[in-house]
Amino acid sequence: MKKLSYKMISVSLLASAVLVGCGGGGADAIAAQSLSGSAVKGPISDANITLWDANRTLIASTLSTGGTFSFPTMALDSDYYVLESKGGWYTDEATKANVTMTDAQGLSTLVSKAELQSMFSTGTYAALTPETTIYTQLVENLLDDNVTLSDVQTQVKDLITKVMIEGTSPLSVLPGDAFLMQGDLTSPFPKNQTEAFARNRSISMSYMTRDLGLAAERVFDLITAIVEDLKDGTSDGISIDAQLDLNVTEEFGLARAKLFQDTTTKLRNGELSDAQKEELRLMGFDVDAFAGSLADDQAILDAEVATYLASDTLPTLHVLDTLIDEDGNNTDG
Protein backbone atom coordinates (compact mmCIF):
# COMPACT_ATOMS: atom_id res chain seq x y z
CA MET A 1 0.00 0.00 0.00
CA LYS A 2 1.27 3.42 -0.89
CA LYS A 3 1.77 5.59 2.20
CA LEU A 4 0.38 9.08 2.31
CA SER A 5 1.67 11.92 4.47
CA TYR A 6 0.59 15.09 6.29
CA LYS A 7 -0.12 18.75 6.46
CA MET A 8 -3.32 20.49 5.90
CA ILE A 9 -5.48 21.23 2.84
CA SER A 10 -9.08 22.22 2.33
CA VAL A 11 -10.78 21.57 -0.98
CA SER A 12 -13.72 23.51 -2.38
CA LEU A 13 -15.91 21.23 -4.51
CA LEU A 14 -17.90 23.50 -6.79
CA ALA A 15 -20.84 21.80 -8.48
CA SER A 16 -21.47 22.82 -12.08
CA ALA A 17 -24.15 20.25 -12.97
CA VAL A 18 -26.73 17.96 -11.39
CA LEU A 19 -26.20 14.22 -10.85
CA VAL A 20 -27.20 12.15 -13.84
CA GLY A 21 -27.35 8.45 -14.55
CA CYS A 22 -25.51 7.99 -17.80
CA GLY A 23 -22.22 6.87 -19.24
CA GLY A 24 -20.09 3.84 -18.48
CA GLY A 25 -20.53 4.20 -14.71
CA GLY A 26 -24.27 3.53 -14.75
CA ALA A 27 -26.83 5.24 -12.54
CA ASP A 28 -24.32 5.88 -9.78
CA ALA A 29 -21.80 7.76 -11.92
CA ILE A 30 -20.93 11.31 -10.89
CA ALA A 31 -21.64 13.87 -13.58
CA ALA A 32 -18.87 16.04 -14.94
CA GLN A 33 -17.91 18.61 -12.31
CA SER A 34 -15.20 21.16 -11.63
CA LEU A 35 -12.95 20.68 -8.62
CA SER A 36 -11.18 23.56 -6.85
CA GLY A 37 -9.49 23.99 -3.51
CA SER A 38 -6.79 25.50 -1.35
CA ALA A 39 -3.80 24.10 0.54
CA VAL A 40 -3.81 25.50 4.05
CA LYS A 41 -1.09 24.29 6.39
CA GLY A 42 0.52 27.55 5.71
CA PRO A 43 -1.04 27.94 3.10
CA ILE A 44 0.96 25.45 1.05
CA SER A 45 2.30 26.98 -2.12
CA ASP A 46 3.79 25.28 -5.19
CA ALA A 47 2.46 21.85 -4.20
CA ASN A 48 1.65 19.10 -6.70
CA ILE A 49 -2.06 18.30 -6.22
CA THR A 50 -3.29 14.92 -7.48
CA LEU A 51 -6.62 13.11 -7.60
CA TRP A 52 -6.67 9.29 -7.55
CA ASP A 53 -9.45 6.73 -7.85
CA ALA A 54 -9.87 3.58 -5.74
CA ASN A 55 -7.51 1.64 -8.02
CA ARG A 56 -4.84 4.27 -7.50
CA THR A 57 -5.21 5.42 -11.08
CA LEU A 58 -4.26 9.06 -11.50
CA ILE A 59 -7.26 11.07 -12.69
CA ALA A 60 -5.88 14.60 -12.68
CA SER A 61 -3.06 16.76 -11.34
CA THR A 62 -2.34 20.44 -10.95
CA LEU A 63 -0.15 22.85 -8.95
CA SER A 64 -1.15 25.05 -6.05
CA THR A 65 -0.53 28.76 -6.45
CA GLY A 66 -0.52 30.84 -3.30
CA GLY A 67 -2.22 27.96 -1.57
CA THR A 68 -5.05 27.55 -4.08
CA PHE A 69 -5.61 25.12 -6.94
CA SER A 70 -8.26 23.90 -9.34
CA PHE A 71 -8.87 20.92 -11.59
CA PRO A 72 -10.54 21.06 -15.01
CA THR A 73 -14.00 19.61 -15.57
CA MET A 74 -14.01 15.83 -15.36
CA ALA A 75 -16.32 12.82 -14.97
CA LEU A 76 -15.75 10.65 -11.90
CA ASP A 77 -16.93 7.12 -11.16
CA SER A 78 -15.15 5.16 -8.43
CA ASP A 79 -15.99 3.70 -5.03
CA TYR A 80 -13.80 6.34 -3.39
CA TYR A 81 -11.21 8.99 -4.21
CA VAL A 82 -7.97 10.17 -2.66
CA LEU A 83 -6.75 13.77 -2.89
CA GLU A 84 -3.07 14.35 -2.23
CA SER A 85 -0.68 17.27 -2.09
CA LYS A 86 3.06 16.67 -2.40
CA GLY A 87 5.94 19.11 -2.10
CA GLY A 88 5.58 22.88 -1.90
CA TRP A 89 6.25 25.03 1.14
CA TYR A 90 4.38 26.57 4.07
CA THR A 91 5.01 28.59 7.22
CA ASP A 92 4.92 26.50 10.38
CA GLU A 93 2.53 27.96 12.97
CA ALA A 94 4.51 26.94 16.05
CA THR A 95 7.98 28.07 15.00
CA LYS A 96 7.10 30.60 12.26
CA ALA A 97 9.74 28.90 10.10
CA ASN A 98 9.24 28.41 6.37
CA VAL A 99 9.20 24.69 5.65
CA THR A 100 10.12 23.37 2.21
CA MET A 101 8.52 19.97 1.72
CA THR A 102 10.06 17.11 -0.24
CA ASP A 103 8.19 15.40 -3.06
CA ALA A 104 7.28 12.63 -0.61
CA GLN A 105 5.73 14.97 1.98
CA GLY A 106 2.21 16.31 1.83
CA LEU A 107 -1.44 15.96 2.75
CA SER A 108 -4.25 13.61 1.85
CA THR A 109 -7.90 12.82 2.35
CA LEU A 110 -10.15 9.97 1.27
CA VAL A 111 -13.80 10.47 0.34
CA SER A 112 -16.38 7.92 -0.74
CA LYS A 113 -18.36 8.36 -3.92
CA ALA A 114 -21.45 9.23 -1.88
CA GLU A 115 -19.53 11.85 0.10
CA LEU A 116 -18.14 13.34 -3.09
CA GLN A 117 -21.62 13.43 -4.64
CA SER A 118 -22.91 15.30 -1.60
CA MET A 119 -20.04 17.79 -1.80
CA PHE A 120 -20.70 18.40 -5.48
CA SER A 121 -24.42 18.96 -4.97
CA THR A 122 -24.01 21.29 -1.97
CA GLY A 123 -20.77 23.05 -2.90
CA THR A 124 -19.25 21.87 0.40
CA TYR A 125 -15.51 21.98 0.99
CA ALA A 126 -13.51 18.84 1.70
CA ALA A 127 -10.92 19.46 4.42
CA LEU A 128 -7.46 17.88 4.40
CA THR A 129 -5.90 18.05 7.87
CA PRO A 130 -3.38 16.06 9.92
CA GLU A 131 -6.31 13.92 11.04
CA THR A 132 -7.61 13.26 7.53
CA THR A 133 -4.10 12.28 6.45
CA ILE A 134 -3.87 9.76 9.30
CA TYR A 135 -7.43 8.71 8.44
CA THR A 136 -6.58 8.10 4.76
CA GLN A 137 -3.61 5.88 5.50
CA LEU A 138 -5.49 3.82 8.08
CA VAL A 139 -8.55 3.36 5.85
CA GLU A 140 -6.48 2.22 2.88
CA ASN A 141 -4.53 -0.13 5.14
CA LEU A 142 -7.69 -1.76 6.51
CA LEU A 143 -9.33 -2.02 3.10
CA ASP A 144 -6.66 -4.53 2.21
CA ASP A 145 -8.48 -6.91 4.57
CA ASN A 146 -11.57 -6.96 2.31
CA VAL A 147 -13.89 -5.17 4.74
CA THR A 148 -16.50 -2.69 3.56
CA LEU A 149 -15.51 0.93 3.02
CA SER A 150 -18.33 2.21 5.22
CA ASP A 151 -17.35 0.00 8.16
CA VAL A 152 -13.69 0.95 7.87
CA GLN A 153 -14.48 4.67 7.69
CA THR A 154 -16.57 4.48 10.87
CA GLN A 155 -13.94 2.42 12.67
CA VAL A 156 -11.09 4.79 11.82
CA LYS A 157 -13.06 7.96 12.63
CA ASP A 158 -13.95 6.51 16.04
CA LEU A 159 -10.31 5.59 16.69
CA ILE A 160 -8.98 9.04 15.81
CA THR A 161 -11.70 10.65 17.93
CA LYS A 162 -10.77 8.49 20.92
CA VAL A 163 -7.01 9.06 20.66
CA MET A 164 -6.66 12.61 19.37
CA ILE A 165 -9.84 14.49 20.31
CA GLU A 166 -11.45 13.12 23.45
CA GLY A 167 -9.52 14.26 26.50
CA THR A 168 -7.18 16.57 24.58
CA SER A 169 -9.11 19.85 24.56
CA PRO A 170 -7.93 22.60 26.94
CA LEU A 171 -11.52 23.88 27.06
CA SER A 172 -14.65 22.21 28.37
CA VAL A 173 -15.79 19.29 26.24
CA LEU A 174 -17.95 20.73 23.47
CA PRO A 175 -19.82 18.88 20.70
CA GLY A 176 -18.00 20.87 18.02
CA ASP A 177 -14.64 19.35 18.96
CA ALA A 178 -15.17 16.50 16.52
CA PHE A 179 -13.49 14.77 13.59
CA LEU A 180 -13.97 16.88 10.45
CA MET A 181 -13.61 16.03 6.78
CA GLN A 182 -15.57 18.93 5.30
CA GLY A 183 -15.34 22.68 5.64
CA ASP A 184 -13.48 25.69 4.29
CA LEU A 185 -10.54 25.85 6.66
CA THR A 186 -8.91 28.61 4.57
CA SER A 187 -11.53 31.21 5.42
CA PRO A 188 -10.41 33.95 7.84
CA PHE A 189 -13.58 33.32 9.84
CA PRO A 190 -14.52 29.70 10.63
CA LYS A 191 -18.05 28.80 9.61
CA ASN A 192 -18.87 27.02 12.85
CA GLN A 193 -17.46 25.52 16.05
CA THR A 194 -16.39 22.30 14.34
CA GLU A 195 -14.26 24.17 11.80
CA ALA A 196 -12.70 26.29 14.56
CA PHE A 197 -11.70 23.21 16.55
CA ALA A 198 -10.42 21.40 13.43
CA ARG A 199 -8.12 24.31 12.67
CA ASN A 200 -6.99 24.39 16.30
CA ARG A 201 -6.08 20.70 16.22
CA SER A 202 -4.20 21.07 12.95
CA ILE A 203 -2.04 23.87 14.34
CA SER A 204 -1.57 21.86 17.54
CA MET A 205 0.23 19.15 15.54
CA SER A 206 2.97 21.69 14.81
CA TYR A 207 3.12 22.54 18.52
CA MET A 208 3.46 18.85 19.38
CA THR A 209 6.33 18.52 16.90
CA ARG A 210 8.11 21.54 18.38
CA ASP A 211 7.57 20.47 21.99
CA LEU A 212 9.06 17.04 21.26
CA GLY A 213 12.22 18.82 20.17
CA LEU A 214 11.75 18.01 16.48
CA ALA A 215 12.40 20.34 13.55
CA ALA A 216 9.23 21.72 11.98
CA GLU A 217 9.51 19.58 8.83
CA ARG A 218 9.57 16.42 10.95
CA VAL A 219 5.86 16.76 11.57
CA PHE A 220 5.60 14.23 8.74
CA ASP A 221 7.69 11.74 10.71
CA LEU A 222 5.38 12.30 13.66
CA ILE A 223 2.30 11.64 11.53
CA THR A 224 3.85 8.43 10.22
CA ALA A 225 4.63 7.31 13.78
CA ILE A 226 1.02 7.91 14.83
CA VAL A 227 -0.28 5.91 11.86
CA GLU A 228 2.01 3.00 12.73
CA ASP A 229 0.81 3.15 16.34
CA LEU A 230 -2.87 3.05 15.37
CA LYS A 231 -2.70 0.35 12.69
CA ASP A 232 -3.67 -2.37 15.17
CA GLY A 233 -6.75 -0.42 16.23
CA THR A 234 -5.34 0.86 19.53
CA SER A 235 -2.75 3.36 20.75
CA ASP A 236 0.22 1.72 22.47
CA GLY A 237 2.52 4.75 22.24
CA ILE A 238 4.87 6.13 19.62
CA SER A 239 8.66 6.15 19.53
CA ILE A 240 10.55 8.82 17.66
CA ASP A 241 14.31 9.31 17.90
CA ALA A 242 15.33 8.54 21.49
CA GLN A 243 11.85 9.24 22.85
CA LEU A 244 10.11 5.92 23.47
CA ASP A 245 6.50 4.94 24.12
CA LEU A 246 5.10 8.45 24.05
CA ASN A 247 1.39 8.62 24.87
CA VAL A 248 -0.25 10.29 21.84
CA THR A 249 -3.29 11.53 23.75
CA GLU A 250 -1.20 13.08 26.52
CA GLU A 251 1.37 14.68 24.20
CA PHE A 252 -1.28 16.04 21.83
CA GLY A 253 -3.30 17.33 24.79
CA LEU A 254 -0.25 19.21 26.06
CA ALA A 255 0.29 20.69 22.59
CA ARG A 256 -3.30 21.91 22.44
CA ALA A 257 -2.93 23.45 25.90
CA LYS A 258 0.27 25.26 24.83
CA LEU A 259 -1.47 26.66 21.75
CA PHE A 260 -4.41 27.84 23.86
CA GLN A 261 -2.03 29.47 26.34
CA ASP A 262 -0.19 31.27 23.53
CA THR A 263 -3.49 32.41 22.03
CA THR A 264 -4.86 33.84 25.28
CA THR A 265 -1.52 35.59 25.92
CA LYS A 266 -1.83 37.26 22.52
CA LEU A 267 -5.41 38.20 23.37
CA ARG A 268 -4.24 39.78 26.62
CA ASN A 269 -1.56 41.70 24.72
CA GLY A 270 -4.01 42.89 22.05
CA GLU A 271 -2.28 40.87 19.31
CA LEU A 272 -5.23 38.83 18.00
CA SER A 273 -7.11 39.72 14.83
CA ASP A 274 -10.90 39.86 14.76
CA ALA A 275 -10.89 36.52 12.93
CA GLN A 276 -8.77 34.90 15.65
CA LYS A 277 -11.05 36.29 18.34
CA GLU A 278 -14.07 34.89 16.54
CA GLU A 279 -12.38 31.50 16.34
CA LEU A 280 -11.89 31.58 20.12
CA ARG A 281 -15.54 32.50 20.60
CA LEU A 282 -16.65 29.59 18.45
CA MET A 283 -14.52 27.28 20.60
CA GLY A 284 -16.53 28.34 23.64
CA PHE A 285 -14.10 30.90 25.10
CA ASP A 286 -15.69 34.13 26.38
CA VAL A 287 -13.41 36.64 24.67
CA ASP A 288 -15.43 39.67 25.75
CA ALA A 289 -15.52 38.63 29.42
CA PHE A 290 -11.77 37.96 29.33
CA ALA A 291 -11.06 41.36 27.80
CA GLY A 292 -13.44 43.02 30.27
CA SER A 293 -11.73 41.32 33.19
CA LEU A 294 -8.34 42.57 31.99
CA ALA A 295 -9.72 46.09 31.62
CA ASP A 296 -11.24 45.96 35.11
CA ASP A 297 -7.98 44.72 36.61
CA GLN A 298 -6.04 47.48 34.88
CA ALA A 299 -8.54 50.11 36.00
CA ILE A 300 -8.26 48.93 39.61
CA LEU A 301 -4.47 49.02 39.41
CA ASP A 302 -4.49 52.51 37.85
CA ALA A 303 -6.85 53.77 40.57
CA GLU A 304 -4.69 52.33 43.33
CA VAL A 305 -1.55 53.93 41.87
CA ALA A 306 -3.31 57.30 41.50
CA THR A 307 -4.59 57.15 45.09
CA TYR A 308 -1.13 56.33 46.37
CA LEU A 309 0.53 59.16 44.46
CA ALA A 310 -2.09 61.66 45.64
CA SER A 311 -1.83 60.66 49.26
CA ASP A 312 -0.56 63.21 51.82
CA THR A 313 0.30 60.44 54.23
CA LEU A 314 3.10 58.87 52.23
CA PRO A 315 5.94 57.68 54.44
CA THR A 316 8.62 60.27 55.08
CA LEU A 317 11.92 59.56 53.39
CA HIS A 318 14.64 59.82 56.04
CA VAL A 319 18.12 60.58 54.70
CA LEU A 320 20.91 59.48 57.05
CA ASP A 321 23.77 61.77 57.92
CA THR A 322 27.00 61.18 56.07
CA LEU A 323 29.18 58.91 58.16
CA ILE A 324 32.40 59.18 56.18
CA ASP A 325 33.18 61.79 53.58
CA GLU A 326 35.77 60.14 51.42
CA ASP A 327 36.83 63.26 49.48
CA GLY A 328 36.80 65.53 52.52
CA ASN A 329 34.13 67.84 51.02
CA ASN A 330 31.18 67.98 53.44
CA THR A 331 29.02 69.90 50.96
CA ASP A 332 28.71 67.18 48.35
CA GLY A 333 27.75 64.27 50.62
Name the residue type at position 297.
D
Residue 283 lies in a domain: yes
Compute the distance between CA of residue 205 and CA of residue 183 in angstroms, rounded to an integer: 19
Residue 30: the pLDDT is: 60
Mean pLDDT of 72-82: 83
pLDDT-based confidence at residue 29 (cuts at 50, 70, 90):
low
Asked whether the beta carbons of 143 and 227 are under 8 A apart, the reply is no
pLDDT-based confidence at residue 330 (cuts at 50, 70, 90):
low
Mean pLDDT of 2-30: 38
Q: Is the pLDDT of residue 278 over 80?
A: yes
Residue 25: the pLDDT is: 43
Q: Is the pLDDT of residue 307 over 90?
A: no
Task: Render 166-186 in DSSP notation, one character per residue.
Answer: TTT-SSPP-TTSS--SBS-TT
Residue 128 lies in a domain: yes
Residue 311 lies in a domain: no
Residue 186 lies in a domain: yes
Give 143-161 pLDDT, tens digit per residue: 977 789 999 999 999 999 9
Residue 230: the pLDDT is: 97
- The number of distinct structural domains making up the chain is 1
Q: Is the pLDDT of residue 12 over 50?
A: no
Q: Is the pLDDT of residue 298 over 60?
A: no
Residue 228 lies in a domain: yes
pLDDT-based confidence at residue 26 (cuts at 50, 70, 90):
very low
120 or 253: which leads in pLDDT: 253
Residue 217 lies in a domain: yes
Burial of 284 from C-beta contacts in 10 A (0-12 / 13-18 / 19+)? middle
- Its pTM stands at 0.78
Q: Which residues contact 41 (CB under 8 A, 6 or more apart)?
A: 7, 8, 9, 90, 107, 202
Residue 304 lies in a domain: no
Q: Is the pLDDT of residue 52 over 70?
A: yes
Residue 146 lies in a domain: yes
Q: Which domain, by its residues, includes 157?
A: 9-288
